[in-house]
Amino acid sequence: MRIIAHLDLDAFFCAVEELYTPALRGVPFAVGGSPDGRGVVASCSYPARMQGVHSAMPMAQAIRLCPNLRIVPHRRGAYTQASRQVMAKIREITDQVEQISIDEAFFDLSDQTDAERIARDLQLDINQTLHLPSSIGIAANKLVAKIANDYGKAQKRDGKPPRAFTVIPAGKEAAFLAPLTITKLWGVGPKTAERLAEIGIRTIGDLAAQDELKMLQRFGQVGYEITRRARGIDKRGIVTERETKSISQETTFSKDTRDKGELQQVLRKLSQKVCDRLQKKGFVAHTVKIKLRWSDFTTLTRQTTLPTHTDESDVLIQAAQKLFNTHWQGRPLRLIGMGVSGLESANQQIGLWDHDWEKERHVEDVLAKIKEKFGDDAIKRGAK
Ligand SMILES: [Mg+2]
């Protein structure tokens, strides 16, 4: 049983601006670009939200909705600094912290004796010492913790920071999600929502009631994944920063070798191992590197950046082999290694609402899961 918390600072950029300019408190204002150019609202104060302004809206439109809107230029350094202070406070509680944006993080409270109390104290501490309002959602997994927090924040619309605190008890995930509109679910953007509406699915509960194999047949892997999510199932762990930097694997030969066939085979095996770990952790990688060490201990590392983030083994193995073929000129090798970096959690890429899910993961991966659950026959029927 896990206890995951999701913390989100309330109108973060605006809250930081209010620290510098207290006169902004209680006033409709927005941080962002000028309305003359193509400026958009990066963040807006709660009084501005009351008048219909929201983030990502063109600033010109925001001014039309809220003529007395004050515009404050973006001040990146200050936000980064405040963000670091907040994240440091979370890390005092646990090292199992996954920062997903400048003002949002998941953290694992499973080992705490009183998770709710610790989270409440954290919220209070951030408010009292850093003067930043925040909201927290707590649930048995990341998916539900995040949706719970968004839900809790949306309940308060009084022109003040919500400072919400929402807990979904274990076992109540599906019941909590059921009445919510389908677009609240990660991975369901407007396009997917439209397709779902065509077959009468409008709430998360409607989707949860579907047969996941039928959804797989109809919508591909996205259908399977979102049906499981609709039931509140999400097994992804916390992805800490240290782990996200890179994944690599290397082999030192017992005897130096210049057998090209052998070297290529070993490189392929190492790459496959790296790829397995990448997929297991739910990451996609942007950079592939190889490491070669000659008999005299001199070491060469070479890397290449892929056109897009991926966890596809074929793509990663090919990139490693291309590097090897380019940089190995036949000298005996003592060590060979392969690694990936520039990692992002696959869910971070889903993050925004209209993601092309079909590309996100391999169908085989899903088929394997189904096989595990329903046996081989299910696959034959389902994949026909
Ligand atoms: Mg926020």
With bands split at pLDDT 50, 70 and 90, how would you rate the model's confidence at 116? very high
Task: Assign 34 a pLDDT band (cuts: 50, 70, 90).
Answer: confident
Centre of ligand 1 to C-alpha 202, Å, is: 26
Report which of 228, 355, 216 is spatially closest to residue 284, judged by C-alpha positions: 355
pLDDT at position 358 is: 38
Ranges 117-131, 218-232, 284-298, 370-384: which has the least confidence: 370-384
CA 133 / ligand 1 centre spacing (Å):
10
Q: Which amino acid is at 248?
A: S
Average pLDDT for 226-239: 91
Architecture field, domain 4-12+77-175: 2-Layer Sandwich (3.30)
**369 CA distance to ligand 1 centroid (A)?**
34
pLDDT, residue 298, reads: 85
Please give the average per-residue pLDDT across 83-100, as a whole number: 91
Please tell me which residue in 17, 18, 104, 212 is annotated as part of the active site. 104
Read off the pLDDT band of 368 (50, 70, 90): low
Mean local confidence (pLDDT), 183-188 = 88
Whether pTM > 0.75 for this model: the answer is no
Residue spans of the domains in the chain: they are 4-12+77-175, 25-74, 176-234+367-383, 246-342
What is the reported pLDDT for 284? Answer: 86
Burial letters 59-94, b for 16+ CB under 10 A, else e: beebbeebeebbbbeeeeeebeebbeebbeebbebb
* 104 among known catalytic residues: yes
Q: State which H helix or E strand residue 283 sits in.
A: strand 283-294
Confidence band (pLDDT; 50, 70, 90) for 239?
Answer: confident
Phi-psi category of residue 214: left, alpha or beta, with phi > 0 → left and psi -120 to 50 → alpha: alpha
How far apart, in whole angstroms, are the C-alpha atoms of residue 236 and residue 38? Answer: 38
How far, in Å, is the centroid of ligand 1 from the Cα of 32? 15
Class of domain 246-342: alpha beta
CA separation for the pair 108, 380 (Å, rounded): 39
Tell me the HSE value of 326 on the side-chain side, using a 13 A CA sphere. Answer: 14
Indicate if the alpha-carbon torsion angle 178, 211, 140, 94 is positive or negative.
negative
Counted residue by residue, the chain has a size of 384
Average pLDDT over residues 18-43: 92
Ligand 1 centroid vs 7 CA: distance in angstroms?
A: 8
- Calculate ∠ Cα 177-44-141, nearest 5°: 25
What is the residue whose two structure tokens read 């076992």? 171
Is residue 193 classed as helix, strand or coil in its secondary structure?
Answer: helix
Burial of residue 215 (CB within 10 Å: 0-12, 13-18, 19+) is buried
Compute, in angstroms, the gap from residue 278 CA to the centroid of ligand 1: 29
Q: Give the pLDDT confidence score for residue 383 in this predicted structure.
A: 33
**Percent over 90 (pLDDT), the chain:** 62
Distance (Å) from CA 336 to ligand 1 centroid = 44
> Mean pLDDT across the stretch 359-376?
53
State the burial class of residue 371 (Cβ atoms within 10 Å of its Cβ: 0-12, 13-18, 19+): middle
pLDDT of residue 150: 96
Which residue in 93, 100, 132, 123 sits closest to 14, CA to CA?
132
**What pLDDT score was predicted for residue 311?**
87
In angstroms, the CA 376 to CA 53 distance is 52
How close is the Cα of 9 to the center of ligand 1, in Å? Answer: 4
CA angle at 133 for the pair 130 and 137, rounded to the nearest 5°: 120
**Does CATH place domain 176-234+367-383 in 3.40.47.10?**
no
User: Is residue 265 very low, low, confident or very high in pLDDT (cuts 50, 70, 90)?
Assistant: very high
| d(CA 78, ligand 1 centre) in Å | 15
In sequence order, the β-bridge partners of residue 333 are 257, 294
- H-run or E-run covering 188: none
- Asked if residue 86 has pLDDT above 70, the reply is yes
CA neighbor of 227 nearest in space, from 214, 242, 245, 240? 214
**3-state SS assignment for residue 74:** coil
134 band by pLDDT with thresholds 50, 70 and 90: very high
CATH number for the domain whose boundaries are 25-74? 3.40.1170.60
Per-residue pLDDT tens over the stretch 332-346: 998 899 999 988 776
